[in-house]
Amino acid sequence: MTPNNSFKPTAEVGLGFSDKQPRGGGLIQVLAPRSSSLAKWKKAAARVALTIICVVGVGYITSWLSLDSCTDETFREIHSRGISGTDMLGNKVTLNRNDVSARIIGPFFVETAYLVPYDLHGSLHYTRYVVLPWWLHKRSSNVINLVMAQPTSSRPGANNSFNPTAGVGLVKSKQSGPAAG
């Protein structure tokens, strides 16, 4: 009779391991490289997410580094267009570079703002820029007139030539009560 050689004693006997599974369990088995299509999709998704995070990070850094350039560009535009305001006595007020502020509104986007005074009133001017490390582009511009009403009295020496844009921001007060008569 021939001996039965089917039984081979190994260290795996009784431990529940087989040759098809990686040795170890728990976290090691989860992190073990697999060649399934699911693992490839996970790697691709992680790479895309990392790329998006890097692009957004570069966008915010570029915006932060471009704040002074956008402020300078807006200030040059103010001087080239001759924008000025008036104080409460009707004297001409020219704007300084310190009157222009800039802030980051998103990756690759910067917004500048300045106030042009008109007596007790004024107008806010906003300009949005798209910024890249090698390029600065004016995207949009917006003017908000703050309580623009016609002067009610004529003071000697006052500049009463103020004329807001045809009804934009014009505020009319309505009187009610016994004094409205």
pLDDT (tens digit per residue) in 62-86: 999 999 999 999 999 999 998 888 8
Determine the Cα–Cα distance for residues 116 and 81; give it in Å rounded to an integer: 13
In the prediction, which pLDDT does 48 show? 92
CB 123 within 8 A of CB 155: no
98 pLDDT higher than 60: yes
What is the C-alpha separation between 81 and 96, in angstroms, rounded? 14
H or E element that contains 109: strand 109-118
Mean per-residue pLDDT, 47-74: 94
Q: Identify which of 131, 90, 94, 84 has the alpha carbon closest to the alpha carbon of residue 112.
A: 131
Give 133's pLDDT tier (boundaries 50, 70, 90): confident
Check pLDDT > 50 for residue 169.
no
- Whether 36 has a pLDDT exceeding 60, the answer reads yes
- Tokens 């001017």 correspond to what residue? 125
Average of per-residue pLDDT across 80-93: 88
Asked whether the predicted pLDDT for residue 20 surpasses 70, the reply is no
Q: What are phi and psi of 53, to 5 degrees?
A: -60, -40
- Proportion of the chain above pLDDT 70, given as a percent: 62
User: Is the pLDDT assigned to residue 175 strictly greater than 90?
Assistant: no
**H helix runs in the chain, sequence order:** 27-31, 37-65, 67-81
- Alpha-carbon distance 61 to 58, whole Å? 5
pLDDT at 120: 82
pTM: 0.58
pLDDT score for 65: 93
Mean per-residue pLDDT of the chain? 76
Model confidence band, residue 8 (pLDDT cutoffs 50, 70, 90): low
For the ranges 6-10, 58-62, 139-143, the lowest mean pLDDT is seen at 6-10
Query: Where do we find the tokens 């990756």?
Result: 107
Q: Please state, in angstroms and as integers, the Cα–Cα distance from residue 114 to each residue in 78, 100, 103, 117, following that order.
A: 10, 5, 12, 10
Q: Which residue has the higher pLDDT, 108 or 178?
A: 108
User: Token pair 């009319």 is at which residue?
Assistant: 172
Q: Are the C-beta atoms of 95 and 84 separated by less than 8 Å?
A: yes
